Structure 1
Amino acid sequence: MNPQGERWTTDQVLALAPDEASRKAGGKLATPGPWSDTGAGRSAVWGLCKGSGKKPYQTVADVKGQAFRCSCPSRKFPCKHALGLLLLWAGTEGAVADGEPPQWAGEWLDNRREHAAGRTDDGVPGGGAAARAPADPEAAERRAERRMQRIGAGATELEQRLEDLLQSGLAAAGRTAPWDETAARMVDAQAPGLAARVRELGPVAASGPDWPTRLLEECALLHLLTRGFLGIERLPDPLAATVRARVGLTTEAAGLLAGSDTTAVRDRWLVLSQQDSDDGKLTTRRIFLRGERTGRMALHLSFGGPHRPLDLALPPGLVIDADLTYYPGARPLRALLGERHAPAAPGPVPPGCGVDAALAAYGDTLRDDPWLDSWPVVLADVTPIPAGDGEGWQLADALGESAVPLDPRCLGRTGLWRLVAISGGEPVTVFGECGHHGFRPLTVWDPTPVAL
């Protein structure tokens, strides 16, 4: 019996790894030697892995729910033991025998599934408890009103500082502009989105040729955002939701699911990529999906920390029949994963578009959300080639008539050469984010998906 309905490939397992070191360490454990009491059943895989101590580590993976538990002290998620166990199960049929989970694994699986109905997939309490109204709606409304007033005061102050900057001239901005102080003021105003954009102004100033133009562009976008918030009551609802999100006002997952104006979208969603980032305090997991019927893109965000591991893991290449609920906005992208109607299964290579169509898609989204840095697209039949000026690389279409530069900030040397090696000079299908810095490749199909 296969606990998932379809056996994962090794590439799908490795796509779960938080970093290259974990991939290598997990690969070393993908042999029967260090394992005992392994088994598969009830949509799970489990086993005991010999470690440096007297007691072996208890490792279990909920394959259906893409969740993991291990008794080792590692802060990586999934740890090398979970990766090794899944690689052992995926690599050789029969290496992990069918059976019933032992008590320690069964209890964890039962607890997960009992609580599944009461939690949303990004780790925020949901379901029945989350859908209930706040204990004191009037108090919540007063708190929200006070925060809007604070953000409004912060936006007004920021407007004045931008005006002072333009009147004094951009030439001295790199020396005199108090970026950190201004950002701190926006944090005090409970506007983290404004604070983040202000911090980004500092590195632009005096940062190379034509920096005044780039700084002016960023100041203009910031001015547009503050003016939009100060006049938010006059904006259409979708644009107002976008402005709220950009200044840092979040929509609670529980409120989104309980809202009367939100409708879940059911589709067969192909997992295009999964990426983790860690700022030392919080781990953020970004999972991009694309609807088979609707063609819609979706971004699922989840967050974890030292005492709150990430639960949801979806390797690229899987297809899940599930409901997604989009967060409000002028161009909705972020979504919550709701009910799943069937086990995940391997999916096909996604259909893609050409370079010109990808650039047009990004330009089209900017009309609705001018603060958008990039938009997810699948490029079909593109080949990585050196740029014409000898600096950097680009993806060229099949005819060589159009090309998009690869974002030099986002693709490390290892990822670049992996992409080039997989292509071998031949056209490939690549998923990534297309933006004003270029194209950031995340997954390439060969023909199975490979994370970059």
Structure 2
Amino acid sequence: MTLSADQILDLAPDPASRKAGQDQAKPAKWQGLGRAGSVIWGEIKGSGAAPYRTVADPSGPAAKCTCPSRKFPCKHAIGLMLVAAAGAPPEAEPPDWVGAWIRGRESRAAAAGRAEETAKPVDARAQDRRRQARDAKVAGALDELDLWLRDLMRRGLAVARAEPYAFWDRMAGRLVDGQASGLARRVRALPGLAAAGLRPGAAAPEAALAFGVGRLALLVRAARRLDALAPEQAAGVRAAIGFPVGAEELAARPGVSDDWAVLAHTVTEEDRLTVRTVWLVGRRTGLPAQVIDFAAAAAALPLMPSPGRDCAGSLAFHPGEPPLRAVFRDGAVVAGAAALPAGGTVAQARDAFAAVLARAPWTERWPVCVAGVRLGHLAGGGGLAAGDATGCLPLRADPHLPAVLAVSAGQPVGLFGLYDGFGLQVLAVTAAGRRFAVPAQDPRPILLLAA
């Protein structure tokens, strides 16, 4: 698989590595460049007496370098792949150190295959005992959360808004102990709602907090009535609580084939993990999809197409109603950049979110596309909003909003973002036939994707 420069830069574990990798992408800095199939190699002068030896396989992606960096891939591996992307090095016989790396990869792959073949059969009885023990823990966590929510409402939300973060974090910690990590995350988000800096004229912070508490209460009630729910609804409740979806269960899910437009990437840090969310929409099916990948600190995330591109492939959606989170089943084949899928009106975006809430009232936000909206300030000194003849959507406060306003130039634009019932978090913009995206982790204010 041939990677573009943007895709190679997406492999960087952090912005500093991205910039440093670009600095190493000068052929004059390298010596002994060569290629054998998809494997490329070269040597580059570093701080030591001997040059660093770097080898990479972009199709993996995989890389190794003799530099002391603990990041993967290091800046030299990124630079080497960028050099190769700009012009393939000549075919050559791999030197001994490259051959040893290739043989090591082949040996590890063979060992992994043998281990899979000789893996012990699953102990169904032990697995069932573990499942029952977790169900009991989660049931206890649900009881404790229900009591806590009732006490919260008895005291009043105005009092709750004055509580320090430790008040919410203690409850979240007890939910983690009860193996209900999804509920814990939602509890930790409540103080943010309580202190939400919603602009004048918009909903009061108490309204946002009441909405969040109400979602939690509905989720607790649904969790106690799983047997009365449809299978997909019950699966969605379990996922919201924090139950994982097993590999076997996901493998049994049907695949959905389509040309998927990659709309945006978002990257966050959670518990020393880098979490990347890729937002897509099917061009034929119209289905939105959320692909989430995790990586430990300083490790590279799996390769995914950049925003502004299309990828042809099959997605397997996690159980849930409505479906959203998914994984690529047969990989992504990157095609050329294409136009942003057509969006609807503001009223249609609100109706779409309302329809999702009717099916899953605990939904926190939903991806929407709107077209032909103009950006402006709300009356009374409020923040930015996107509006058309059917209404307006307040825009969530974000450092990139001034850039979004600038590229709109007062003309109608298309927006893609995440709507939570109170405001839209803008992730991509179409203006004057050009596509822009809010960068996932790049320090630049906004990125031009396609003219």
Provide TM-score, normalisation by structure 2. Answer: 0.79
1-structure distance, mates of 2:111, 2:374: 46
**2:76 corresponds to:** 81
1:54 aligned to 49, 54, 60, which one? Answer: 49
Deviation at 1:380, TM superposition (A): 4.0
Contact between 2:13 and 2:301, CA under 8 Å: does it hold in 1? no
2:181 aligned to 186, 189, 192, which one? Answer: 192
Deviation at 1:166, TM superposition (A): 2.6
* Structure showing greater relative contact order (alpha-carbon pairs closer than 8 Å, 6 or more residues apart): 1
Deviation at 1:322, TM superposition (A): 2.1
Q: Are residues 394 and 88 of structure 1, via their aligned partners in 2, closer, same or farther at CA, if it must alter by over 3 Å?
A: farther
**1:122 corresponds to:** none
Residue 299 of structure 2 is aligned to residue 305 of structure 1: no
Residue 427 of structure 2 is aligned to residue 442 of structure 1: yes
**1:416 corresponds to:** 401
2-structure distance, mates of 1:310, 1:43: 20
Deviation at 1:235, TM superposition (A): 1.2
2:245 aligned to 242, 248, 251, which one? Answer: 251
Q: Over aligned residue pairs, what C-alpha RMSD do you find?
A: 3.8
Contact between 1:253 and 1:336, CA under 8 Å: does it hold in 2? no
1-structure distance, mates of 2:98, 2:304: 19
2-structure distance, mates of 1:360, 1:442: 20
Q: Are residues 138 and 275 of structure 1, via their aligned partners in 2, closer, same or farther at CA, if it must alter by over 3 Å?
A: same
1-structure distance, mates of 2:311, 2:172: 41
2-structure distance, mates of 1:371, 1:280: 24
Contact between 1:66 and 1:313, CA under 8 Å: does it hold in 2? no
**2:127 corresponds to:** 140
1-structure distance, mates of 2:406, 2:378: 17
Contact between 2:7 and 2:304, CA under 8 Å: does it hold in 1? no
1-structure distance, mates of 2:53, 2:375: 44
Provide TM-score, normalisation by structure 1. Answer: 0.79
2-structure distance, mates of 1:290, 1:114: 39
**1:352 corresponds to:** 342
Counterpart mapping for 1:74-223 below 5 A: 74=69, 78-90=73-85, 92=86, 94=87, 96-99=88-91, 102=94, 129=116, 135-174=122-161, 178-205=167-194, 210-223=204-217
Deviation at 1:227, TM superposition (A): 1.2
State the Cα deviation string for residues 303-327 of structure 1 (Å, max 9, x = none).
1114864333332233333222111
2-structure distance, mates of 1:264, 1:77: 32
2-structure distance, mates of 1:158, 1:218: 14
Q: Are residues 228 and 403 of structure 1, via their aligned partners in 2, closer, same or farther at CA, if it must alter by over 3 Å?
A: same
User: Which of 12-21 and 294-303 deviates more?
Assistant: 12-21
Gapped runs of 5+ residues in structure 1? 120-125
Deviation at 1:147, TM superposition (A): 0.9
**2:395 corresponds to:** 406
**Percent of residue pairs bearing the same amino acid type:** 38
Q: Are residues 380 and 201 of structure 1, via their aligned partners in 2, closer, same or farther at CA, if it must alter by over 3 Å?
A: closer
1-structure distance, mates of 2:110, 2:240: 30
Deviation at 1:213, TM superposition (A): 3.6
Deviation at 1:377, TM superposition (A): 3.0
1-structure distance, mates of 2:111, 2:285: 28
Matched residue SS, 2:291: strand
Residue 25 of structure 2 is aligned to residue 30 of structure 1: yes
Q: Are residues 273 and 171 of structure 1, via their aligned partners in 2, closer, same or farther at CA, if it must alter by over 3 Å?
A: closer
1-structure distance, mates of 2:110, 2:279: 23
Task: Supply the AA of the counterpart residue of 2:314.
Answer: D
